[in-house]
Amino acid sequence: MATVSARNPADRLTEEQVLLRDTVRQLATERIAPRAAEIDRTATFPEDIRQLLAEQDILGLPFPVEHGGVGGDLLTVCIAIEEIARACATSSLILIVQELGSLPLLLAGTPAQQTRFFPRLASGTALAAFGLTEPEAGSDAGALRTRAVRDGDTYVLDGTKRFITNGSVAGLITVFAVTDPDGPKHRRLSCFAVEVPTEGFRVERLEHKLGIRGSPTAELAFEGVRVPAANLIGAEGDGFSIAMATLDRSRPGVAAQAIGIAQGALDTAVAYARNRRQFGQRIGDFQMVAAMLADMDSQVEAARQLLYTACLEIEAGGPEVARWSAMCKLIAGDTAMRVTTDAVQVLGGYGYIDEFPVERMMRDAKITQIYEGTQQVQRLVVARALLGRPGS
């Protein structure tokens, strides 16, 4: 009887994806990793890495081929993010946010809008940012206050956005604003493609952060910013659902970043445990250290396999997209925090100083439990998928 052979696990990736993974890994090892410590120390946006990712067509991965992109699916984008994050979390955010900021246009933009905006985003000439969060609206995304008032052929935007990754270096920001203040909470918002710089737009300040220090996190002021009505993405009132659909597709990117950071820390811990000798033997030969490394490896692989499945489920559509997206970000973020903390422990005193990258990775890992929805929000999304909304 002919046996049905089990698929080689590596076959979950297509040949192109394996090739991309290996290419990005080599690029990250040779060109990005050597810059990572300095990017962190100087907290400066790595313009050279942005150019590198643009030249190598990596920033084009999320965009359709007809607009100058590479047409990569979600898993392909995540594979590239993981490999960059393994070397430098800040650098991986350039790709993550290029996708995040563009997703409203990818999901709900008209062909005319896509033709206008995608070529420069796909080539990396312009960077994108995602303008949802405000000082008083973080987890409660529906509660934002920035206003957009129609005036002839334009909308006039007034308000403040906070914690906007790449907000100070972006050329295009997808901004969410209230168009119907008296409407039902989740129909109040609309989404706009805002080209910057423009009159009335200001970068108020950049945050000083624990990790991802080279990635500018900006507070942005909009004071009477005029946006052409042609830049409204979707219909008036669609803003909240566009934001949620965007996050459903972007959270796997954060999961991929978390897995990359964790893998980078594990690689360092394993190399250290092989070489460092105490009491006359390699520290990896002590069972307590060996067990830590085995747990770390298992957890990283489990998170990666969940991410791969989540990407395939999300691409296939279906009613559980939000659940898959939240689950993979939840598991990967918690894995990254645990694994990087353990990596610091394996290196002992050397883990705590910047001679090795694991202290940076531990600091970088923390944000993956916070942004694009806190871990508490991810749990809420998963729980609602199980139980329905409260009172239902």
Which residues are catalytic, by number?
372
CA-CA distances (angstroms) from residue 137 to 91, 141, 219, 293? 27, 5, 13, 40
191 binds ligand COS (CB under 6 A): no
* Amino acid at the residue 161: K
Number of residues that bind ligand COS (CB under 6 A): 21
CA atoms of 137 and 193, how far apart (whole Å): 20
- Is the CB of residue 174 less than 8 Å from the CB of residue 193? yes
Q: Pick one of 133, 217, 263, 268: the residue that binds ligand COS (CB under 6 A).
A: 133
Q: Which is nearer to ligand COS, 152 or 388 (CB)?
A: 388
Q: Pick one of 54, 79, 96, 132: the residue that binds ligand COS (CB under 6 A).
A: 132
CA atoms of 74 and 78, how far apart (whole Å): 6
CA atoms of 30 and 311, how far apart (whole Å): 28
Task: Find all residues with CB under 8 Å of 15, minimum gap 6, and list them.
Answer: none
CB atoms within 10 A of CB 392: 6
Give the interface segment with ligand COS, choosing from 198-206, 218-226, 229-237, 370-378 (CB under 6 A): 370-378
328 binds ligand COS (CB under 6 A): no
Q: Which is nearer to ligand COS, 154 or 241 (CB)?
A: 241
CA atoms of 100 and 174, how far apart (whole Å): 9
Which residue has tokens 């507070």? 219
H helical segments located in the chain: 15-27, 33-42, 47-55, 74-87, 89-108, 111-122, 239-275, 287-316, 321-347, 358-367, 375-387
| Residue number closest to ligand COS, CB atom | 373
Q: Which of residues 200-259 bind ligand COS (CB under 6 A)?
A: 240-241, 244-245, 247-248
Q: Which is nearer to ligand COS, 273 or 326 (CB)?
A: 326
Instruction: State both tokens at 27.
Output: 């690029």
367 binds ligand COS (CB under 6 A): no
103 binds ligand COS (CB under 6 A): no
Q: Which is nearer to ligand COS, 84 or 132 (CB)?
A: 132
232 pairs with which residues across the strands? 192
CB of 206 to ligand COS, least distance (A): 16
CB of 350 to ligand COS, least distance (A): 33
CA atoms of 256 and 148, how far apart (whole Å): 34
Q: Which is nearer to ligand COS, 108 or 292 (CB)?
A: 108
CA atoms of 359 and 350, how far apart (whole Å): 9
99 binds ligand COS (CB under 6 A): no
Q: Pick one of 45, 63, 176, 371: the residue that binds ligand COS (CB under 6 A).
A: 371
Q: Pick one of 259, 266, 322, 343: the residue that binds ligand COS (CB under 6 A).
A: 322
- Is the CB of residue 250 less than 8 Å from the CB of residue 99? yes
CB of 310 to ligand COS, least distance (A): 14
* Amino acid at the residue 46: P
Q: Pick one of 119, 142, 171, 237: the residue that binds ligand COS (CB under 6 A).
A: 142
Which residue has tokens 């796909």? 122
CB of 100 to ligand COS, least distance (A): 7
CB of 334 to ligand COS, least distance (A): 16
Which residue has tokens 């395939």? 312
Instruction: State both tokens at 126.
Output: 């312009």
Give the interface segment with ligand COS, choosing from 83-91, 106-114, 279-287, 368-376 (CB under 6 A): 368-376
- Is the CB of residue 249 less than 8 Å from the CB of residue 317? no
CB of 19 to ligand COS, least distance (A): 31
Give the interface segment with ligand COS, choosing from 52-60, 139-147, 278-286, 355-363 (CB under 6 A): 139-147
* Amino acid at the residue 198: T
Interface with ligand COS by CB under 6 A: which residues? 130, 132-133, 139, 141-142, 186, 240-241, 244-245, 247-248, 322, 371-373, 377, 380-381, 389
